[in-house]
Structure 1
Amino acid sequence: MTEQRTAWQLDPDRALPAEPGVRALAREIYASTAALPIVSMHGHVDVDLLVQDEPFANPAEMFVIPDHYLVRMLVSQGESPAALGIPTQDGSPYETDPREVWRRFCRNWKLFRGTPTRYWLEHELAVVFEAPAPPSEETADGLYDFLLDRLARDESRPRALLDRFNVELLATTDSAASGLAGHRKLAEQEGRQRILPTFRPDDLLHIRRPGWAADVRRLSEVSGIEAGDYDSFLLALRQRRAAFLQAGARATDHGHLSASAEPLDPADARSIFAAALRGESDAAAAEAFAGGMLYEMARMSAEDGLVMQLHPGVLRNHSSAVRSRYGTDKGFDIPVRVEFTRALQPLLNSFGMDPGFRMIVFTTDETVYSRELAPLAGAYPALRLGAPWWFLDSPEQMRRFRESAVETAGFYNTSGFVDDTRALASIPARHDLARRIDAGFLARLVAEGRLAAAEAVETGIDLAYNLPLQSYAPRP
C-alpha cells in the first residue's frame, strides 16, 4: 500500500485551559511532562497478548471489540453487542466481519462527542497510528485499509507499542490462582521485569459467586496446599502472594461492592467457609466474609509489602440479559454510593499507622473525595488517594478531583496517575490527558499566585512519573 501522510492534526492545546494567560503557563508545565516514561500500575491488558506478541488482526479487534467504553456507548444508542462483534455465550449469531463492525463504529462517531473515549480514540488514531482523517461513514473503508496496513507492521506489535509509548512499567491484573506462566515467559523473552503481575483475589473472597468452590480447588492445585478449611485457605493465599512477589508483583487489587473491612472472629470465619464449601452460605454471611477477608488482605499486605489497592462501589454486570448472552465485563458495571470513613476504620485502626503497610483507594463516587477520602489520606500515613478511576477519568472530573482532594490531602498523598484500561493503544492517550489536566490545574495555581512556576513544573513531573513509582515501589 502506498504510504499516506496524515492530514488529520489534533489541536496541540487540547484539554488545556481556555484563558490565554493560564493556557500559556499550562503549555510550559505540560511540556515538562509530555515525554516522561509511563508508569502504568493498574491495568487489565491481557498478559497472553504480550507473551504471544502477534500483530493485531484488524482495526475492529484493535479499537472496537475489546473497548467496553466504546461498546457501551453504541449499545446505549441501539446497537447490539452482537452487531459489534462481541461473541455470544449461547451460540447465537454475531457479526464476524471486522470491516462491518468498523463501519458501524465509524458511522456512529458523533456519539462520542464530549466524552473521554473521543479524546483517547483521537489520540490513538491520529497520533499513534497517524490516520489521515477522523472516522465517519465516508472515511470508514479508507481508514480500515490504512490501519490494516499499519497494524501489520512490526512496530505495531503489542510489545513494540509499549516501547513506542515509552512504558517503563506495566502491571497486569491476574487471578490469585494464576500459575503466572505468562509472566515467567515474558521475563525470559524481555530479559527484564517490565510487565508485572497484580494479585487479584476477588473470585476467592466472594463465596456466593458462581464457580467459587471450583476456584478454591484451583487455588489448592496451584498453591500445593489443600484449602479444605479456612486456616489452610489463608495459607494457600499467602503462598500465592509469595509467588506473585517472586514474579515481580508490587500490588494487590480488590474490587468489592463496599469498602467494609470488619474483621471476623476466626471461629465465625471457619464456620462460614465450611458452610460455603457445602453450598449453604447466605447473603449476610457472604458480606461478612468479604469484609473479613478484606481485613485479612490488609494484614497480609502489612506482612509482605504488597501495596493494597481498593476500588469499591461498582455493581457488576447490571444487565442480567447481557451477562447471560455475552458474559461479564461488557460495559454494564454501574457505580453505586460508597461510604469509606466508618467502613475502613477497623482496617486503618490496625494498619493505618504501620510503616510497612501501604494502601491506595480508588472510587467511582466523586462525592466522597472532599468529604471522606481526602481527609483520610491527609491523616493516615499508610493511605494514598488513587487517581480518578474508570467513570471519573474524564477531563471535567479529573479537574474536580484536584479541586476536591488537594486542599485537604495535598498532592503527595495521592498516587499520581495510573490508568485502568484493557485497550493497549489507549494507555498513552489516557496518560497524555491526565498530564494536560494536571498542567491546567497547576497553571491556575501559578496564575493565582498560590504556587511558583518552578514548583508547578516539579509537581507536574511528580504527578506524572515520580509519585506512581513511589506509590508502588517494592518494600525493602
Structure 2
Amino acid sequence: MSTINSKNFITDNFLLQSDIAETLYHQYAKDLPIIDYHNHLSAKQIADNKPVKNITEVWLKGDHYKWRGMRANGIEEFNITGAASLKDKFLSWAETVPYTLRNPLFHWTQLELKRYFDIDDILQPSTADAIYEKANSILEHKTPAQLLEDMKVEVVCTTDDPADDLMDHKKIAEGDFYTKVLPTFRSDNLFWIGKPSFSKYLIRLGDASGITINSFDAFLKSIDQRIAYFDSLGCKLSDFGLGEHLDIVDFTEEDVALIFDKKLKGEILSTSEITTYRSFLFLYLGKKYHEFDWAQQYHLGSLRNNNTRLEAEIGLDAGCDSIGDFPVAEFMSKLFKALESTNQLAKTITYNLNPSQNEVFATMMGNFQSADTPGKMQWGSGWWFLDQKDGMEKQLNTLSNMGLLSRFVGMLTDSRSFLSFPRHEYFRRILCNLVAEDVKNGLVPNDLEFIGKIIQNICYFNAVKYFKFND
C-alpha cells in the first residue's frame, strides 16, 4: 500500500464541523478533568508505579480491538499474541493501521500518538521505526500514574473480583497519587454455580473473607463481608457482565439453599436450578448495592469466546467475542420491578451490545426513575463494538429522544490500556459537534452559555455528583 501523506491529521478542530462546535468544545469541554468510572486497568501497575518503557506492552498487550484488526488484515497470530518480539508486534500493528481507515481504531491510534507523544505522523510502515523509538524514549521515564495525571484523570474505577484482596488499592490510597483509584465489585464469578470451577472459587472467596463456606448461610455472610470491605476502600460501583440469556424466576430462599447444598456435595445442577439460584443472587446483591448506595452496572448482550481454537491457544479474552441477540427486556423489567417494589432499587446503569436494542434499554430505564437521584436509572454510553463515532451519536440521539441527555453521566474507557484516555476527548468532540448541529438548525436555542453548562455536566459534573466521588 502506498504511504498516507498527511501530517497534522489531528487538528485542534478535529471532528468539530462548525464555529459553534468549536466554541462548545474549546470553551466548555476540553479542559475538564476525566472521570473514568469503568475500566479494566491494573491497580497493581499503578501501585508499583514503574516506568512503562515499551509502547507495545502498554498499547498492544491485551488490546483485543487491535488484535481483531490485525487478524482481519492477515497478520499471523505469532505477531499478535504469540512469541514475536515487541518491536515486530508493533511493526505488524503499523502495517495494519492504514487499513483501519473508517474504523475507530484509526482515529484512536492517531489521537493517542498525538496526546501522549506529540506525534503528528500517521502510523504506517514508513513511519513505524521513528514512532517506536520516540514513544519508547518517552515511556522509559513515564509511570502509569504519570500517564493518568498527564490526561487529568481524577478518578479511575477498576474492575475487581469479590475475592480480590485490593492490597494495591490500599497502597495507592496511602500514596501520593493525583488519580483516585477505586475498586469495583464485579460479581460474575458468584453466578457461575453451574461450572466445575465454582467449588474452587468458593475456597478462594472463603479465604478472602475469613469465612469457611460450608453452607448457604456462610456463603451469604462471605458476600456481605466482601461488599463491606470493598466499601471501606471507597468502592462506589458494582458490575455484572455474563453474556448469555438471563431470567428472573420465582423462588424461596429455602429452595436456593437446597440448590447450593447440592453444589457443595458435588451434584450436577439442572438449568432451572441454576436460573433459580441466579434469580435469588440478582435480588440479594441488588439490595446490598442499594444499602451501600452503590451504582450497579449491567453489561448485557455479548456472545463470548466464539473461536474455540484461539481460546484453547490464548485463553479467555482472546478477542473472539461478538454481539449476541439475547432477549433482555423481560429480564431487566423483572429485576428492577422486584427491587423497586421494596424500595431497594439502587442507582443503575445498563449497557447494551446489540444496537438493535438501543430503544429497548433507553425506554426500560425510564420506567424506574426516582426523585431521590436525578438520572438515577442510566442507559450507559456506547459499549464495546458501539464505542465509536456512529455508535456514540446513535446512543446520544436515542437518549435525547427517550430520556434526559442533560442527566447523562458520560463516557468511560472500558479499557485495559493506560493510553486509552483520549477516548474521552473523542466523545467530548462528538458530543459538542452533535449539539452544535442542533443549534445551527434552530432545534435548540442559541444560548451557548446554558448549553455549555449542560456539556460540562455530561462530561464531568454529573458523574461526580451521581457517584458521590467527593464524599
Return the offset for 1:152. Answer: 0.7
Q: 2:416 aligns with which of 422, 427, 431?
A: 422
Partner residue of 2:386? 392
Partners in 1 of 2:441 and 2:246 — Cα distance? Answer: 37
Partners in 2 of 1:475 and 1:267 — Cα distance? Answer: 41
Return the offset for 1:46. Answer: 0.9
SS in 1 for 2:349: strand
* Matching residue's letter, 1:230: F
Partner residue of 1:188? 174
* Matching residue's letter, 1:404: T
Residue 274 of structure 2 is aligned to residue 286 of structure 1: yes
Partners in 2 of 1:418 and 1:368 — Cα distance? Answer: 20
Distance 1:105 1:232, change over 3 A: same
Distance 1:113 1:7, change over 3 A: closer
Partners in 2 of 1:96 and 1:456 — Cα distance? Answer: 50
Q: Deviations over 1:23-72 (max 9, x none)?
A: 21111111110110000000100111111111123121121222110011
CA contact (8 A) 1:254 1:309 kept: yes
Return the offset for 1:356. Answer: 6.6
Q: 2:440 aligns with which of 441, 444, 447?
A: 447
Return the offset for 1:127. Answer: 2.2
Distance 1:50 1:442, change over 3 A: same
Return the offset for 1:163. Answer: 0.9
Q: Deviations over 1:94-113 (max 9, x none)?
A: 32411111111111212221
Residue 466 of structure 2 is aligned to residue 471 of structure 1: yes
CA contact (8 A) 2:34 2:155 kept: yes
Q: CA RMSD in A?
A: 2.2
Distance 1:149 1:474, change over 3 A: closer
Residue 138 of structure 2 is aligned to residue 142 of structure 1: no
Distance 1:302 1:35, change over 3 A: same
Partners in 2 of 1:413 and 1:100 — Cα distance? Answer: 46
Partner residue of 1:3? none
Return the offset for 1:188. Answer: 1.2
Return the offset for 1:230. Answer: 2.1
Q: 1:213 aligns with which of 171, 179, 199?
A: 199
Partners in 1 of 2:96 and 2:23 — Cα distance? Answer: 36
Partner residue of 1:13? 13
Partners in 2 of 1:263 and 1:161 — Cα distance? Answer: 49
State the TM-score, normalizing by the size of structure 1.
0.90
Structure 2, unpaired ranges of 5+: 1-5, 370-375
Partners in 1 of 2:95 and 2:433 — Cα distance? Answer: 33
CA contact (8 A) 1:15 1:395 kept: no
Partner residue of 1:380? 368
Partner residue of 1:457? 452
Q: 2:302 aligns with which of 307, 314, 326?
A: 314
SS in 1 for 2:110: helix
Partners in 2 of 1:139 and 1:416 — Cα distance? Answer: 35
Partner residue of 1:89? none
Q: Deviations over 1:106-156 (max 9, x none)?
A: 112122211112211111112221125222112222221111111112xx2
Q: Deviations over 1:350-391 (max 9, x none)?
A: 334737721111111222222x22222223124211111111
Return the offset for 1:13. Answer: 2.6
Partners in 1 of 2:250 and 2:78 — Cα distance? Answer: 44
Partner residue of 2:372? none
SS in 2 for 1:324: helix
Q: Deviations over 1:228-253 (max 9, x none)?
A: 22222121111101000001100001
CA contact (8 A) 1:252 1:308 kept: yes
CA contact (8 A) 1:261 1:295 kept: no
Partners in 2 of 1:416 and 1:361 — Cα distance? Answer: 13
Q: 2:431 aligns with which of 435, 438, 441?
A: 438
Distance 1:103 1:467, change over 3 A: same
Distance 1:367 1:55, change over 3 A: same
SS in 1 for 2:156: strand
Residue 187 of structure 2 is aligned to residue 201 of structure 1: yes
Partners in 2 of 1:357 and 1:383 — Cα distance? Answer: 9
Q: 2:50 aligns with which of 54, 73, 91?
A: 54
- Number of aligned positions between the proteins: 454
SS in 2 for 1:114: coil
Q: Deviations over 1:440-471 (max 9, x none)?
A: 22112222333233332111111100122233
Q: 1:362 aligns with which of 321, 328, 351?
A: 351
Distance 1:164 1:210, change over 3 A: farther
Partner residue of 1:265? 252
Q: Which moved more, 1:187-196 or 1:401-410?
A: 187-196
Return the offset for 1:180. Answer: 0.8
* Matching residue's letter, 2:168: G
Q: 2:236 aligns with which of 250, 274, 278?
A: 250
Partners in 1 of 2:262 and 2:450 — Cα distance? Answer: 57
SS in 2 for 1:426: coil
Return the offset for 1:298. Answer: 0.9
Partner residue of 2:139? 151
Partners in 2 of 1:192 and 1:282 — Cα distance? Answer: 50
* Matching residue's letter, 1:29: L
How high is the sequence identity, in percent, across the aligned residues? 23
Partners in 2 of 1:133 and 1:191 — Cα distance? Answer: 32
Return the offset for 1:347. Answer: 2.2
CA contact (8 A) 2:7 2:122 kept: no
CA contact (8 A) 1:193 1:248 kept: no
Return the offset for 1:161. Answer: 0.9
Partners in 2 of 1:111 and 1:394 — Cα distance? Answer: 17
CA contact (8 A) 2:286 2:345 kept: no
Partners in 2 of 1:165 and 1:300 — Cα distance? Answer: 34
CA contact (8 A) 1:417 1:468 kept: no
CA contact (8 A) 1:383 1:413 kept: no
CA contact (8 A) 2:157 2:182 kept: yes
Partners in 2 of 1:102 and 1:192 — Cα distance? Answer: 30
State the TM-score, normalizing by the size of structure 2.
0.91
Structure 1, unpaired ranges of 5+: 1-5, 18-22, 87-93
